[in-house]
Every structure is written in C-alpha cells, then in structure tokens.
Amino acid sequence: MKTTMKGLIAVLLLIAGGAVVLAGDAPIADEPLPPEVKKLIGMKIPPKVVEKKGGSVPDFIGFEGMALIVDFESGIDLGYRAGFVGGKWPVLLVSRHFPDRSQVILDVQMLPENLIAWKLVNGKPSYLYGRYRLSPRCRAGDEDIPLVVGLMKQEEGKETCAHYSGRVNRAWQIDRQNGHLTPLSTEDMQCYYISMNDC
C-alpha cells in the first residue's frame, strides 16, 4: 500500500511539474469582459456616427491603432484599436470598416492596466515611458506571423531605435474572416518596436 501511495504521489508530482512547464509555453488567459465592454462586440456604427465622432466608438477614448488589411478593390479594411471604455477599462478591439465609413466591432479583449504604456489623465490618454505598447508586426524565429498584435516593450539599451524585441508579454492573432482575437503563446516570439531610426 505504501509503494502504491508513493507511486501515486510521484505520478501526481510529475503531472503537476508537466503542467507548470506547459503553462509556461501556453498563452495567458484573457480577462473576463465587464458587461459595459462586452456589449461592444457586434456593435454596428453607422456612417453618421462615425462622421460626427471622428470614427470613435461610443464612450471610447483611443490611444493606438492601425489598419492591418486593406482591400483596395472592395474598400473594406480590418484593423485594431486600443483605448479606454467608460473612462476606465483599457481594451484592444478589432473592427471592420466599410466604404460608406460605417464600421462593426468584431471582438474586444481587456488589456492589463498595470503593464500598458497609457493611462487616462483628466480624460485624455497620457504616455507612460518604459511600459508595454502594441505592435502589429510579430514573428516566431525568422517567420512573420500574419495578423498578430503583440504587447511588447523595447529591449534594454534600444529604447530609442527600431528593432525586434523578445520582451513580449501578450499576443493575439486576428482571424481574417470574423475578426476574433485568439491568444497566442509568446514563447520565442519577437515583436517590432517602431521608431524613426533602426538600431
């Protein structure tokens, strides 16, 4: 009985150890969305609202964003934006824009407030130096990963020049068809830090 119990404990420890190793390679789970944020998914913004609010989502203050796919034939593009919802929740959202200047929000994910390089000061985004920013250009090894947005910061000593950085905290891949954000493992991932001059 003692041998069986020791064997069982050894197996459980082995499984637990393996789980820890796997967790290190696995993507970080996304935070649950507050109801005020979750309701944005699927929201259609008509052209008049887009024109009136300069393209902004209702109750949204943006600080970063980029079109990732532009279909010049149809005039439709797919892109991401980051900002604050309700004056407090930092989010990453994916939207599709149409030729009539309307848009639809396809997916939203929370961003870790304690890591990102932005905070709200008197209702306006203020930059926090030395923290994580979003990058639309990421790779694993020498292979670019399409439609990935990574939360990264500069390598030590390269704060003022453009380079690929391995300091990637979170990453999401955007589905080209439905815009859904899927968390990715950041193991061996590098994302590009944009600056005026290359390192």
Computed over its alpha carbons, how large is the radius of gyration of the chain?
20
- Cβ neighbours of 114 (radius 10 Å): 8
Which pTM does this prediction carry?
0.79
* HSE-CB of 138 using CA atoms within 13 angstroms: 31
One digit per residue, the tens of pLDDT, for the chain of length 199 reads 344 333 333 332 322 333 333 334 556 666 789 999 999 999 999 887 777 665 678 889 999 999 999 888 888 899 999 999 999 999 999 999 999 989 999 999 999 999 999 999 998 999 998 899 999 999 998 889 999 999 999 999 998 899 999 999 999 999 999 999 999 999 999 999 988 888 8
Task: Name the nearest CA neighbour of 172 among 113, 115, 109.
Answer: 109
